[in-house]
Amino acid sequence: MNAYRIEHDTMGEVAVPADRCWGAQTQRSLENFPVGDEKMPKEIIRAFAYMKKACALANRRLNPARMTEEKASRIAEVCDEILAGQLPAEFPLSVWQTGSGTQTNMNVNEVVAIRGNALAGKKLLHPNDDVNMSQSSNDTFPTAMHVAAALALKNDLIPAIECLRGTLLRLEEQYAGVVKSGRTHLMDAVPIAFSQEISGWRGMLDEALVQTDAAVARLTELAIGGTAVGTGLNAPAGFGDAVAEILTEETGLPFTSAKNKFHALTSLDRMAFAHGALKALAADMMKIANDVRLLASGPRTGLGEIRIPENEPGSSIMPGKVNPTQCESVTMVAVRVMGNDAAVGFAASQGNFQLNVFLPVTAYSFLQSARLLADSIRSFEARCVSGIEPNEAKMRENLERSLMTVTALTPVIGYENAAKCAKKALAENITLRESCTRLGLLTPAEFDRLWKPEEMI
C-alpha cells in the first residue's frame, strides 16, 4: 500500500507520494497531463539546476535581506546534488504540459525547497518565495532551454564532429595517391583522387563546426531577469546580469543577459537559427553516409570500391550477408533531425503577445536532435569510418572502364570526336583506346601519351 503525505498550493490540498520530494503543483501536472511517454529532458533539468543555483547566489548578492546565506547555501547544495546526477526520479513530468513549461519550473522549485528543508531539518525554503525569487516561469524556462541547448552543442556535439573530422583527415592523408572514377548524377565522371572525395566529406564537417559555433553564440543570450512579461517586475536591478555572470563561472560558456527581454520571452528565433545548423549537419551526414554505403555496396554486384567494418550479421535468412548498418543509423537520425527542424520552426512561429507557449516541444526537439547527432556521429566514426579501406583494384578497374576519361582527349581531338569515341566504346563494349584507334582519331602511342588519369585530378 502506497503512503502519501498532504501538500498544498493556492488551489488546495493534494496527496503526494510520501517518498517523493515534489509538491502539489508537480503532482497536479502528473495527474493532468498523462500524455505520451516523453519526459522533460534531463538536460533541461540540469540547466534548471545551474540556473536556480545562480539565481540564489545573485539574490544573495542583490537582496541579502530576503535571500539569507543559509537559504542560498541550501538551494545551491540541492542544485549541486541534481547536477551530480542525484534525485533523477524527482522530475517525472511530461513534455506535453503547459506551453510555458510552468509545471517543470515549479517541479524544480518544489524539489529544491523540499529537499533543502530535509537537509536543513526545518521549514527553511518556500518553492515560490525563495527558490523562485526574482523569477517567473516565463523567463526561467527560456533561459534553461538556451543553457541546455548551448551546453549540448558545446560539450557533446562539437567534440563528436571534431572526432569524425579528425578521422576523415587521417584517411585523406593516408590515401592521397589513390585515383578512382568520379561520379555525377550517379553516372561516370572524370577521375578524382580518393583523398579528394574524402576531403569533400571533411569540408562538410569544417562548415558544420563554423555553423555550430555560431549557433552556440546565438544561444548565450538569456531571458532571465525579464520575469513575467519582459519588464523585470519583482526582480532587483542587475539581476539578469548577475545570473548570467554566475552561469558563465559555473559552465564555462559566455552567457549574457539579453538586452531586449521582450524579444527574449516571446521569440524562439535563436532556437530556430541554432536548429538550422543541426539540420544542415544532418543533411551533410545523410550525404556522407549514403556515399559510404554506395561505395561499399556489393561486395560483388555493387560498386565495391571501399571496404567498411563488418559489425554484425545482416540477415536472418541469407548466410554471410553483412549490411552497412552504421550508415543506416546515421541516415535515420538525419530524417528525425529534419522532422524536428520542422517542429522547431512551427513552434517558433507561434509567439503571441508577450510569450511563446511552445517551449517544451522546442526544447525536447532541439535536445533530441543534438543528442542523436552526437551519438550517431561518434558511433559512425568508431564503427565504420575509422575502418574504411579502399579496394584499389576495383577502383582501378572502374577507372579504366569509365568512358568519361575521354574528356582528357578533347583538347586534341575535339568535343564531338571525343563523344563519338565514347559512344562507340559503349556500343561495342571496347576500351576508349580501341575506339580511338578504330576511328582513326589517335594512334595507340598518342592515346597512351594523353590518357593518364593520375594527371587528370
Could you list the active site residues?
185, 315
The dihedrals phi and psi of 124, each to the nearest 5 degrees, come to -100, -45
Candidates 340, 345, 330, 338; CA nearest to 365 is 340
Asked if 132 and 119 count as a contact pair (C-beta separation under 8 A), the reply is: no
Q: How far is CA 248 from CA 63, 70, 150, 157, 178, in A?
A: 21, 23, 12, 19, 48
Q: Copy the grid coordinates of residue 381.
A: 566514426
Q: Copy the grid coordinates of residue 452.
A: 593518364
- DSSP characters over 326-375: HHHHHHHHHHHHHHHHHHHHHHHTTEETTEES-HHHHHHHHHHHHHHHHH
CA-derived radius of gyration, the chain: 30
Q: How far is CA 356 from CA 108, 170, 316, in A?
A: 21, 46, 49
Separation between Cα atoms, residue 381 and residue 389, nearest integer Å: 14
- DSSP characters over 80-147: HHHHTT--GGG---BSSS-TT-HHHHHHHHHHHHHHHHHHHTS----IIIIITTT--HHHHHHHHHHH
